[in-house]
Amino acid sequence: AQTVTQSQPEMSVQEAETVTLSCTYDTSESNYYLFWYKQPPSRQMILVIRQEAYKQQNATENRFSVNFQKAAKSFSLKISDSQLGDTAMYFCAFSQEGGGADGLTFGKGTHLIIQP
Amino acid sequence: EAGVTQSPTHLIKTRGQQVTLRCSPISGHTSVYWYQQALGLGLQFLLWYDEGEERNRGNFPPRFSGRQFPNYSSELNVNALELEDSALYLCASSFFRGGGETQYFGPGTRLLVL
């Protein structure tokens, strides 16, 4: 079974700073998919970014980018120019190839607080 | 385009009762997933439905069950409620093209068992 570990339960940074959230995972699969989801205080889970393991290039979405290190099984999320609206729980998630057999496996989450 | 919708938003039940939660996927999505987000336990996979069939379930007892209808909407049923069933229940939907598709989440149903 896959496991996802987020080692930072909470982080706090000033607005406009850059912040990096860590995620490591364990799997014996060679192809898989990784996600970062954001869950603001309103509770609606929103996709931030998606990475396909067979792609070497790191995914980016505007101010959000990942550092995907397949050999190290690491998938960190970098948020540039952080904004107050980035305050949320951030979950790293893993999905194996072959469908939703085990659903998404989530880490415990990192509570990110952006201070004004 | 409408997102994933769930009803009701909140529920209060007593131990031993039964509850039904509902989910409508994004139009065109055939897969529906259910997750439990309990305090301290994180998000755990409950059930996966695709094309009307249960495809897989997580490590939950049989009193957690559900179904998917021809219009791809889904119900989650929980029988003989226990206090530890108190949680946010999230539904997600996606296309299914072999794996790795993005799951889009609904706002959740908050269940409190007294």
At A52-95, the pLDDT tens digits run 998 888 999 999 999 999 999 999 999 999 999 999 999 999 99
Measured CB to CB, residues of chain A less than 8 Å from chain B are 32-33, 35, 37, 42-47, 50, 52, 91, 95-109
Q: Which domains does chain B have, with CATH numbers?
A: 5-96+104-113 (2.60.40.10)
Count of structural domains within chain A: 1
- Of the candidates B50, B88, B99, which has its C-beta nearest A98's C-beta? B99
Of A9, A24, A30, nearest to A92 by C-alpha is A24
- pLDDT greater than 90 at residue A97: no
Residues A104, B56: C-beta atoms closer than 8 Å: no
Neighbours of B47 (CB within 10 A): 25
Q: What CATH code is carried by the domain that includes residue A51?
A: 2.60.40.10
Q: pLDDT category, A101, cuts 50, 70, 90?
A: low
- pLDDT greater than 90 at residue A31: no
Which residue segment(s) compose the domain that A85 sits in? 3-115
Query: How many angstroms separate the CA atoms of B20 and B17, rounded?
Result: 10
pLDDT digit string, tens, across residues B7-62: 999 999 999 999 999 999 999 999 999 999 998 888 999 999 999 999 999 999 99
What value does the CA radius of gyration of chain B take, rounded to a whole number of Å?
A: 13
The residues that bridge with B38 in the sheet, in sequence order, are B42
**Of all residues in chain A, what percent carry a pLDDT higher than 70?**
96
